Chains A and B, each alone.
Chain A
């Protein structure tokens, strides 16, 4: 017998960390939206986003930028009267859209995250100068200059690494990763 998995169910299944409280428990009180420090910059605030997931509006949710603008501050999570882990839900949505390879193209978040992951998989450590390449060229000229100025200042203060760091047992580390997800070399 086959059953169709609804969108809200699919999202709920993505959330290992949320420990179970499904979005359907939401009572639309608005605490999350009211408390979110990024709310003004989101196209859809958390309360409405949750409503949309619960209603199964998959296409609309997938086209939303809001969760890519979540700063993971967990303010909503600790205040939700229904115990919904909204911050983890935002993480889940990010993963879902990366997995489906469906997100608004001009977002910096996905490319930044993927560059980060590649760096860690290769070396075990993160390295700021490589990360910068994932977003530097998306900046406008004015921002680019400001960014370069900041980098120069950090360099002068001895705060930028010259060489990428790497862990010692890198071969073991890579094999460990392969046991979780088989990746190419």
Chain B
């Protein structure tokens, strides 16, 4: 890994709803020798809702976080795809549009901050995928036999076009899963949307989208779905019972964060990875790894 220190933006969901994502992130960063310095006094990125109401203010919220990271002299890393997309896009706008930057800097003065467009924004999975050799070396408790559906979802890829990777044909999630000894399955709908906030604003649509994803994951032979976003995790797991009620299906597909799987492969005890707070229990191959991790 070339870069070892980042400003870490957990985001609102990771405080409670997705605390397991936060815990497992901190654990694996430690093993990987990566320093994640939590951004002091970070604020909400605005999610999607803020952009529905006022675009300028939404960018200002993101910019405050960017400015605080820049003050530390660190690039920003976000584990939530929504936070990532908002701040990544805001960063691009501010770098290109100086009038916008001036306007926002005028507001940031109130908090003694200023942003000069000097940092980059990364998604957490990107920084861990950058050094697969290192991941492999640390995976002393490989997840042999675990069939994983790597679920990218939307905003880690889109609308951004990766400099080094096609937004339509990414492979890094699969490669990361292979590096920890698991078997990534051919998950056709891996880039398809989970319904995001529609789970609240248009439940019918969202439940049907979740159903399609679960069905496709099962058809592809997966034991578990791995996600890199708290919203995807909650939609796919916590609403699974509602899908079953709605469509008369009998899904019971576990959904874990990629960081939890990585942590297990590194021999970190399950509890420290927040395993146990899920609605649907881990599959057999994961449980075997949990037992081994406990004695490592």
Task: Please tell me if the beta carbons of B193 and A176 are within 8 angstroms of each other in the complex.
Answer: no
Could you tell me the distance between the alpha carbons of A128 and B18 in the complex, rounded to whole angstroms? 12
Could you tell me the distance between the alpha carbons of A95 and B159 in the complex, rounded to whole angstroms? 20
Q: Tell me if A180 counts as interface (CB < 8 A to partner B).
A: yes
Q: How many A-B residue pairs have CB under 8 A?
A: 189
Q: Which residues of chain B have C-beta atoms less than 8 A from A77's C-beta? A: 158-159
Known: A68-B201, A71-B198, A176-B107. A160 touches B16 (CB 8 A): yes
Q: Tell me if A114 counts as interface (CB < 8 A to partner B).
A: yes
Given B41, B201, B242, which contacts A112 in the complex, CB threshold below 8 Å? B201
Q: Size class of B's contact patch?
A: 35 or more
Q: Tell me if A124 counts as interface (CB < 8 A to partner B).
A: yes
Task: Please tell me if the beta carbons of B107 and A117 are within 8 angstroms of each other in the complex.
Answer: no
Task: Please tell me if the beta carbons of A150 and B238 are within 8 angstroms of each other in the complex.
Answer: yes
Binding site for A on B (CB under 8 A): 12, 15-19, 41-44, 46-57, 60-61, 64, 89, 93, 97, 100, 103-104, 106-112, 154-155, 158-159, 161, 167-168, 191-193, 195-198, 200-206, 208-209, 238-239, 241-242, 245, 277-279
Q: Tell me if A91 counts as interface (CB < 8 A to partner B).
A: yes
Q: Which residues of chain B have C-beta atoms less than 8 A from A100's C-beta? A: none
- State how many angstroms separate the Cβ of A185 from the closest Cβ of chain B: 15
Task: Please tell me if the beta carbons of B278 and A157 are within 8 angstroms of each other in the complex.
Answer: yes
Q: Tell me whether chain A's interface is mostly helix, strand or loop, or mixed.
A: helix
Task: Please tell me if the beta carbons of A116 and B195 are within 8 angstroms of each other in the complex.
Answer: no
Task: Please tell me if the beta carbons of A125 and B19 are within 8 angstroms of each other in the complex.
Answer: no
What is the chain B residue whose CB lies nearest that of A77? B159
Which of A2-10, A22-30, A50-58, A161-169 lies at the interface with chain B? A161-169
Task: Please tell me if the beta carbons of B52 and A94 are within 8 angstroms of each other in the complex.
Answer: yes
Q: Which residues of chain B have C-beta atoms less than 8 A from A141's C-beta? A: none
